[in-house]
Chain A
Amino acid sequence: MDSSDMIRARIVGGAFDTAAEEMSATVTRTARSPIFNEAHDFTTGIFDFQDGKARLIAQAPGCTLHLYAICSAVQAALEVFRNDLHPGDVILASDPFHGGTHIPDHVVILPVFADRKPVFFPVVRAHFADSGGPVAGGYNPASRDIWQDGVIVPPVKLYEKGERRQDVFDLVLANNRVQDWLVGDLDAMHGACLTAKKNIDRMVDRFGLTETRDAIEDNISYAEKRVRAEIESWPDGDYYAETFIDHDYQGAHDIKVACTAKVRGSDVAFDFTGSAPQVDGFVNSTLANTESFVFVAIASCIDEDVPVNEGYINPVSVIAPEGTVVNPHNPKPVGNCTCICGAEIAEVALLALSQCAPKRVGVNCHKLPLAYTSGKYEDGRPWISLNFHGYTGGAGAAYGTDGWGLYPPLMTGVILPSIEMNEMQYPMRIEQHEYVCDSAGAGRWRGAPGVATRIRFLSDNITNAMLAGVRHPTRGFCGADDGPPNALTLSDEDGSTAVTEVVYNHRLKAGAAIEFLRGGGGGWGEPVDRPVEEVLSDIHNKYITAEMAAKKYGVIADENGHAADPEATDQKRAEMRKEA
Chain B
Amino acid sequence: MTLAAQILGNRFAALAHEGAAGFAAMSRSPLVIEEGQYACAMLDGEGQLIAQDQGEPSHLAAIQATAEYTLDAFAFDLTEGDVILTGDPYCGGTWSGVLTIIVPVFWDGDLKFLSAVRFAVADLAGNVPGPFQPDAHEIWQESLRLTPVKLVKAGAPQKDVRNYITRNTRATALLDSDLTTAMVTATRIGEQIIGLIENKGLDLISAAATQRIEYGAARAKTALADLASGAASVDGATVSVTGGEQVHVDLSQMPVSEEDSNNLTLAATRAVVLVQLLSGVIEDAGMSQGILDAVKVTAPEGSTVNATFPAALSCGWRVVAPALSAALAQATGTIAAINPAPPMVILFDEIGSGPVTQPIALSPGFSTFEGCAGPDAASGRRRIISAEETEAAGRVNLWHRQIGNDGVTAELTVTAKNQEAIVVPGGLAPEISGATVRERSNVLTLPAGAKITFTYPRGDA
Residues in A with CB closer than 8 Å to B146 are 171, 174
Structural contact, A332 and B140, CB atoms closer than 8 A: no
Q: List 4 extra interface pairs beyond A95-B167, A141-B440, A147-B169, CB under 8 A.
A: A152-B125, A170-B147, A171-B149, A175-B140
A→B interface (CB under 8 Å): 80-81, 95, 132-136, 141-142, 144-145, 147-148, 151-157, 166-168, 170-171, 174-175, 177, 251, 280, 329-333, 502, 504-505
Within 8 A of A (CB), among B103-129: 125-127
Q: Which of B29-37, B158-166, B273-281, B363-371 contacts A (4 or more CB under 8 A)?
A: B158-166
Bound-state CA distance A156–B161 (Å) is 7
9 closest cross-chain pairs (CB), A and B: A145-B352, A147-B125, A144-B352, A134-B127, A144-B351, A156-B160, A504-B440, A167-B149, A174-B145
Residues in B with CB closer than 8 Å to A504 are 440
The one of B77, B88, B168, B352 that contacts A151, using a Cβ cutoff of 8 Å: B168
Structural contact, B144 and A151, CB atoms closer than 8 A: yes
Structural contact, A171 and B167, CB atoms closer than 8 A: no
B→A interface (CB under 8 Å): 73-74, 77, 88, 125-127, 136, 138, 140-141, 144-150, 160-161, 163-164, 167-170, 310, 351-352, 354-355, 439-441
Residues in A with CB closer than 8 Å to B440 are 141-142, 502, 504-505
Residues in A with CB closer than 8 Å to B169 are 147
Residues in B with CB closer than 8 Å to A135 are 141
Question: Shortest beta-carbon distance, A381 to chain B, in Å?
Answer: 11
Structural contact, B125 and A151, CB atoms closer than 8 A: yes
Residues in A with CB closer than 8 Å to B73 are 167, 170
Interface centre among A81, A135, A148, A502 (most CB of B within 10 A): A148
Structural contact, A171 and B147, CB atoms closer than 8 A: yes
Bound-state CA distance A578–B439 (Å) is 50
The one of A81, A177, A502 that contacts B140, using a Cβ cutoff of 8 Å: A177
Residues in B with CB closer than 8 Å to A142 are 440-441
Structural contact, A147 and B164, CB atoms closer than 8 A: no
Residues in B with CB closer than 8 Å to A177 are 138, 140, 310
Bound-state CA distance A332–B310 (Å) is 28
Structural contact, A171 and B355, CB atoms closer than 8 A: no
Structural contact, B150 and A333, CB atoms closer than 8 A: no
Bound-state CA distance A166–B168 (Å) is 20
Residue of B nearest to A156 (CB): B160
Can you list 11 A-B pairs with a CB-CB distance of less than 8 A? A132-B140, A134-B126, A144-B351, A153-B164, A154-B163, A157-B160, A167-B148, A167-B150, A171-B161, A175-B144, A331-B170
Structural contact, B167 and A154, CB atoms closer than 8 A: yes
**Main DSSP-derived SS at the B contact region:** loop
Structural contact, B164 and A156, CB atoms closer than 8 A: yes
Structural contact, B352 and A333, CB atoms closer than 8 A: yes
Residues in A with CB closer than 8 Å to B149 are 167-168, 170-171
Residues in B with CB closer than 8 Å to A170 are 73, 147-149
Structural contact, A147 and B163, CB atoms closer than 8 A: no
Residues in A with CB closer than 8 Å to B126 are 134, 147
Question: Shortest beta-carbon distance, A150 to chain B, in Å?
Answer: 9
Contact A331-B355, Cβ < 8 Å, known A132-B145, A171-B149: yes
Question: Shortest beta-carbon distance, A552 to chain B, in Å?
Answer: 39
Structural contact, A154 and B147, CB atoms closer than 8 A: no
Question: Shortest beta-carbon distance, B292 to chain A, in Å?
Answer: 26
Residues in B with CB closer than 8 Å to A329 are 355
Residues in A with CB closer than 8 Å to B167 are 95, 152, 154
Bound-state CA distance A502–B439 (Å) is 11
Question: Shortest beta-carbon distance, B179 to chain A, in Å?
Answer: 15
Interface centre among A144, A329, A330 (most CB of B within 10 A): A144
The one of B77, B140, B170, B310 that contacts A145, using a Cβ cutoff of 8 Å: B170
The one of B147, B160, B310, B351 that contacts A148, using a Cβ cutoff of 8 Å: B351
Structural contact, B147 and A133, CB atoms closer than 8 A: no
Interface centre among A134, A147, A177, A329 (most CB of B within 10 A): A147
Structural contact, B145 and A332, CB atoms closer than 8 A: no
The one of A168, A175, A280, A502 that contacts B352, using a Cβ cutoff of 8 Å: A280
Bound-state CA distance A152–B126 (Å) is 11
Structural contact, A167 and B74, CB atoms closer than 8 A: yes
Structural contact, B160 and A155, CB atoms closer than 8 A: yes
Residue of A nearest to B350 (CB): A144
Question: Shortest beta-carbon distance, B84 to chain A, in Å?
Answer: 8
Residue of A nearest to B123 (CB): A147
Question: Shortest beta-carbon distance, B252 to chain A, in Å?
Answer: 21
Bound-state CA distance A338–B431 (Å) is 42
Contact A154-B355, Cβ < 8 Å, known A147-B126, A167-B73, A504-B440: no
Residue of B nearest to A331 (CB): B355
Residues in B with CB closer than 8 Å to A174 are 88, 145-147
Residues in A with CB closer than 8 Å to B310 are 177
Contact A147-B161, Cβ < 8 Å, known A167-B74, A171-B149, A330-B355: no
Residue of A nearest to B169 (CB): A147
Bound-state CA distance A145–B170 (Å) is 10
Question: Shortest beta-carbon distance, B347 to chain A, in Å?
Answer: 16
Residues in A with CB closer than 8 Å to B74 are 167
Question: Shortest beta-carbon distance, B242 to chain A, in Å?
Answer: 33
Structural contact, B164 and A154, CB atoms closer than 8 A: yes
Structural contact, B147 and A145, CB atoms closer than 8 A: no
The one of B140, B148, B355 that contacts A133, using a Cβ cutoff of 8 Å: B140
Question: Shortest beta-carbon distance, B97 to chain A, in Å?
Answer: 12
Question: Shortest beta-carbon distance, B38 to chain A, in Å?
Answer: 23
Residues in B with CB closer than 8 Å to A144 are 351-352
Residues in B with CB closer than 8 Å to A155 are 160, 163
Residues in B with CB closer than 8 Å to A136 are 140
Contact A154-B160, Cβ < 8 Å, known A144-B351, A177-B140, A333-B352: yes
Bound-state CA distance A171–B148 (Å) is 8
Residues in A with CB closer than 8 Å to B355 are 329-331
Structural contact, B141 and A133, CB atoms closer than 8 A: yes
The one of A133, A156, A251, A331 that contacts B163, using a Cβ cutoff of 8 Å: A156
Residue of B nearest to A330 (CB): B355
Residue of A nearest to B308 (CB): A380
Contact A332-B352, Cβ < 8 Å, known A132-B144, A134-B127: yes
Structural contact, B140 and A147, CB atoms closer than 8 A: no
Interface centre among B125, B136, B149, B352 (most CB of A within 10 A): B352
Question: Shortest beta-carbon distance, A254 to chain B, in Å?
Answer: 19
Question: Shortest beta-carbon distance, A85 to chain B, in Å?
Answer: 12
Bound-state CA distance A102–B36 (Å) is 37
Residues in B with CB closer than 8 Å to A171 are 145-147, 149, 161, 164
Structural contact, B351 and A145, CB atoms closer than 8 A: yes
Question: Shortest beta-carbon distance, A165 to chain B, in Å?
Answer: 8
Interface centre among B147, B160, B170 (most CB of A within 10 A): B160
Bound-state CA distance A94–B391 (Å) is 39
Bound-state CA distance A152–B355 (Å) is 14
Residues in A with CB closer than 8 Å to B127 are 134, 148
Residues in A with CB closer than 8 Å to B138 are 177
Residue of B nearest to A177 (CB): B140
Bound-state CA distance A154–B163 (Å) is 7
Structural contact, B161 and A134, CB atoms closer than 8 A: no
Residue of A nearest to B443 (CB): A144
Residues in A with CB closer than 8 Å to B170 are 145, 147, 331
Bound-state CA distance A171–B441 (Å) is 28
Bound-state CA distance A75–B456 (Å) is 55
Interface centre among B136, B138, B164, B168 (most CB of A within 10 A): B164
Bound-state CA distance A251–B439 (Å) is 10
Structural contact, A80 and B160, CB atoms closer than 8 A: yes
Bound-state CA distance A502–B440 (Å) is 10
Residues in A with CB closer than 8 Å to B161 are 156, 168, 171
Question: Shortest beta-carbon distance, B449 to chain A, in Å?
Answer: 23
Residues in A with CB closer than 8 Å to B163 are 80, 154-156
Bound-state CA distance A528–B355 (Å) is 53
The one of A147, A330, A502 that contacts B168, using a Cβ cutoff of 8 Å: A147
Bound-state CA distance A147–B171 (Å) is 11
Bound-state CA distance A80–B310 (Å) is 33
Bound-state CA distance A174–B168 (Å) is 14
Residues in B with CB closer than 8 Å to A152 are 125, 167-168
